[in-house]
Amino acid sequence: MDDDVAALVRADRLLEAAQVTSARGDARGASALFERACDWRNAAREALRAGDGPRGLELALRADDEALARDAVTNLAGDATTAERTAASLFAHGRPDWAARVLEAASRDLDAARAWERAGEMARAATLFERAREPAQAARVLELALRRDPGDAEAALALGSLLERFGKDEASLRVLQRVPASSSMRREALRVMLGPLHRMGLTAAAREAASELSALAPRDATEPSRAAWPARSAWLRGRYEVVRQVASSANARVLEARDRARGERVALKVYAAGDGAGTPRSAFDRLERDLRSLRALDHPAIVPLRDVEAAESIVVMSWMDGGDLAQALAKDALAPARAIEIAVAVLSALGEAHRIGIVHRDVKPTNVLFDAAGATHLSDFGAAHAADASATVTAGDFGGLTYQSPEQREGRGITAQSDLFSVGALLSEILTGSALGNEPPSSRHSGLDARHDRIVASLRAQSPEQRPADAFEALELLRSLPWPGTATGATGLDGRASTSERPDERRLQAAPDGAFIDMWTGRAVECVPLSDAVVARAQLFAAVDDGTLQQVLRIDREGGCVWLAACAAPLDRPLTRAEQARVRAALEAFVAGGGERSSLDTEGLGVSGDGAVVLRF
């Protein structure tokens, strides 16, 4: 350090000393002096002038100068080793976003993608995962983003586009449908939808999408979207306090609200007729008649109806805390036994509705809801009436087309068998990952065979006459065979088999009765501590795979327990003759499989969630 600079430093005139040093061309020394003077911005500039990219970036971030920080990242781009070392330091200091920028600039796409994921920037992570030829990882991070925020339109558009590029048309349509009409990304979502719609032969829906796309001119940024306006406080006599909008389509909006009178959460479905969109009054009148008939049924598998406000075209329903089936399928593969539980509940609800002449017309995953305990409820009965302002019930809702019967798509007569096709498509999606594909469920699950395939195929028969006669016949067909309680063979975007990772403690939530609730599937679970004998017994139960034996859901070696499907209650009544026969058959199957008859206590019978008798583990 020169004498005159040293004198300035001794006099605590650090800024002057730094400026003199800079003027003399000693950028490194000037940077050190500016840093001592807490002038981070100039310290960063001098460090970059000296070619010290890592230090320049650190000082620029300390100065909160993003432009300088980006210059520093560019400075690091040509040196992969230095970039990696700098990124590691940024991670250590809690800056994964800038670590990601450094790695991306150095063309370390895979590492940058992981860094963006840590930073919570899922769309950017997905872009880099795909660039690094890891499309399955790209899909994973986008699905994670949608689980965290189902209303993330950017993630929905990115995932839908990714699926479309890899030929997964059905899945692409389901995801893209989540981009609401109010989103600035709706136009791009519609543009991507057109390809899958044409390839799947959905020409009418493709025309509607093209029409909406051409009519969707860019909005004036100063004018808020109609769908984004807050709900009017005067709705329903001021009784319902709107919390948020949770979904929207061309036909309706769904709002979460609080019922001030009952002190409970409710869902408000506000149809377009109530927004002055011109839906014929008679359409909502038909819906209202159906809903009031269903209310009299009070069926446990139908979402409870609280009120119908005809003047505003609003339906008030109980709030379902457990989300919907689409969200459940996005989280993890469901076991066949869980799939059948869901299908049985849906068919039971449909059967009672069909008895009084009501056809649902829109059975799909987003209309299958779960309450806080995981019980299944079917929603939106008759909603197609209110959406049907013309000859089609699909306008604005391309996601539901996948589950519609051939006669419904073609505009022919709709009957109860049309709903059965939708249940078959839904069940096929749970078991194989595709609602309309031809892959048999047995190809995905080792516990299923041709008998199971035939039942699912009968529900999806192209001709209504080839399907079961009614929902109750379909229900009995599903119950006639055992369905395994573990999920196997689910595949990801790249075709590789995927297995569930061991869940963290948040997956199992303690229930008041001593059991647990599996938050991924909504099932009640009993946990038995692991031992060699318990594992051997669990393997025997799973191999016998009789529906009367308590279901083994998983052997969690890391967690040190076996998961069993919890019994709802002990049996406190005599067995019927049919139940006695089933228990005897289960005992014989258990013995034939290598078990000892004396090790099953027929006094310890329980009742499952759907009322069936169970021999406990």
pLDDT digits (tens, 9 = 90+) for 602-613: 667 887 755 677
8 versus 392: the higher-pLDDT residue is 8
Task: Report residue 302 as tokens.
Answer: 């139908």
CATH number of 450's domain: 1.10.510.10
| 82 and 10 co-located in one domain | yes
Residue type, 39: D
- Radius of gyration for the chain, computed over Cα atoms and rounded to the nearest angstrom: 30
**For residues 192 and 161, what is the distance between their CA atoms, to the nearest angstrom?**
6
DSSP annotation of 217 reads: P
N-terminal to C-terminal alpha carbon distance within the chain: 82
Sheet holding 264-271, edge to edge: 240-248, 252-259, 264-271, 314-318, 305-309
Boundaries of domain holding 235: 231-318
DSSP bridge partners of 253:
248, 270
Q: At what angle do helices 471-479 and 450-459 cross, to 10 degrees?
A: 170
The answer, yes or no, to whether residue 75 has pLDDT greater than 80, is: no
| pLDDT (tens digit per residue) in 466-514 | 999 999 999 999 999 988 876 555 433 333 333 333 344 455 777 666 6
| 129 and 9 co-located in one domain | yes
At 223, the pLDDT band (50, 70, 90 cuts) reads very low
| pLDDT (tens digit per residue) in 129-173 | 888 888 888 888 888 888 777 778 888 898 888 888 877 888 888
| 35 and 98 co-located in one domain | yes
DSSP annotation of 370 reads: E
Domain termination site, one of 181, 215, 249: 215
Q: Give the pLDDT confidence score for residue 243 in this predicted structure.
A: 79
- Using CA atoms in the order 172, 416, 254, 143, what is the torsion angle rounded to 10 degrees? -30
**For residues 515 and 12, what is the distance between their CA atoms, to the nearest angstrom?**
70
Q: Is the distance from CB of 326 to CB of 176 less than 8 angstroms?
A: no
| 531 and 405 co-located in one domain | no
Please report the sign of the dihedral spanned by the C-alpha atoms of residue 124, residue 126, residue 130, residue 133.
positive
Q: Give the pLDDT confidence score for residue 478 in this predicted structure.
A: 94
178 versus 216: the higher-pLDDT residue is 178
| 56 and 204 co-located in one domain | yes
The answer, yes or no, to whether residue 360 has pLDDT greater than 70, is: yes
Phi, psi of 470 (to 5 degrees): -155, 180
| HEC secondary structure over 239-285 | CEEEEEEEEECCCEEEEEEEECCCCEEEEEEEEHHHHCCCCCHHHHH
Q: Is the distance from CB of 160 to CB of 170 less than 8 angstroms?
A: no
Compute the average pLDDT of residues 96-121.
83
The helix or strand, by DSSP H or E, that contains position 122, with its residue range, turns out to be helix 122-131
Q: Is residue 484 part of a domain?
A: no
The answer, yes or no, to whether residue 396 has pLDDT greater than 50, is: no
| 422 and 569 co-located in one domain | no
The answer, yes or no, to whether residue 179 has pLDDT greater than 80, is: yes
| 36 and 179 co-located in one domain | yes
| 311 and 430 co-located in one domain | no
The helix or strand, by DSSP H or E, that contains position 419, with its residue range, turns out to be helix 416-432
Q: Is residue 225 part of a domain?
A: no
| 160 and 17 co-located in one domain | yes
At 221, the pLDDT band (50, 70, 90 cuts) reads very low
Nearest to 493 by CA among 161, 146, 124: 161
Domain count, the chain: 4
Return mean pLDDT, the chain. 77
**For residues 363 and 603, what is the distance between their CA atoms, to the nearest angstrom?**
41
**For residues 603 and 616, what is the distance between their CA atoms, to the nearest angstrom?**
9
Q: Give the pLDDT confidence score for residue 228 in this predicted structure.
A: 39
- Outline where DSSP puts E strands in 489-579: 508-510, 516-518, 524-529, 552-556, 561-565, 569-570
Out of 75-79, 203-207, 533-537, least confident range: 75-79
| 90 and 210 co-located in one domain | yes
Q: Is residue 572 part of a domain?
A: yes
Q: Give the pLDDT confidence score for residue 93 in this predicted structure.
A: 73
Degrees (nearest 5) of the Cα angle 423, 426, 429? 150
Out of 225-229, 307-311, 401-405, 541-545, least confident range: 225-229
CATH number of 121's domain: 1.25.40.10
Residue type, 35: E
Q: Give the pLDDT confidence score for residue 218 in this predicted structure.
A: 54
Q: Are strands 376-378 and 252-259 parallel, antiparallel or unpaired?
A: unpaired
Q: Give the pLDDT confidence score for residue 284 in this predicted structure.
A: 64
Q: Is residue 486 part of a domain?
A: no
Residue type, 415: T
DSSP bridge partners of 555:
562
Q: Give the pLDDT confidence score for residue 261 in this predicted structure.
A: 67
Q: Is residue 198 part of a domain?
A: yes
Can you give the pTM of this predicted structure? 0.49
| pLDDT (tens digit per residue) in 547-593 | 678 878 777 777 788 888 877 677 777 877 767 877 887 788 788 77
Which range, 282-296, 359-373, 415-429, has the best average confidence (pLDDT)? 415-429
DSSP annotation of 192 reads: H
CATH number of 306's domain: 3.30.200.20
Domain termination site, one of 187, 215, 243: 215
Please give the C-alpha separations between residue 519 and each of 245, 328, 386, in angstroms, as whole numbers. 24, 9, 34
| pLDDT (tens digit per residue) in 418-440 | 999 999 999 999 998 888 778 89
| 211 and 256 co-located in one domain | no
Residue type, 168: K
Q: Is residue 501 part of a domain?
A: no
Compute the average pLDDT of residues 362-368.
90
DSSP three-state, residue 358:
coil
| 179 and 313 co-located in one domain | no
Q: Is residue 408 part of a domain?
A: yes
Q: Is the distance from CB of 250 to CB of 212 less than 8 angstroms?
A: yes
Q: Give the pLDDT confidence score for residue 460 in this predicted structure.
A: 94
Domain termination site, one of 183, 215, 247: 215
The answer, yes or no, to whether residue 459 has pLDDT greater than 90, is: yes
Compute the average pLDDT of residues 461-470.
94
The answer, yes or no, to whether residue 276 has pLDDT greater than 80, is: no
411 versus 101: the higher-pLDDT residue is 101
**For residues 113 and 131, what is the distance between their CA atoms, to the nearest angstrom?**
9
Q: Is residue 495 part of a domain?
A: no
At 377, the pLDDT band (50, 70, 90 cuts) reads very high
The answer, yes or no, to whether residue 245 has pLDDT greater than 80, is: no
| pLDDT (tens digit per residue) in 14-64 | 888 878 888 888 888 888 888 887 888 888 888 888 888 888 888 888 877
Please give the C-alpha separations between residue 400 and each of 241, 387, 612, in angstroms, as whole numbers. 30, 12, 33
Provide the phi-psi class of 426: left if phi over 0, else alpha when psi is between -120 and 50, else beta: alpha
**For residues 352 and 565, what is the distance between their CA atoms, to the nearest angstrom?**
27
Which range, 114-123, 151-160, 269-278, has the best average confidence (pLDDT)? 151-160
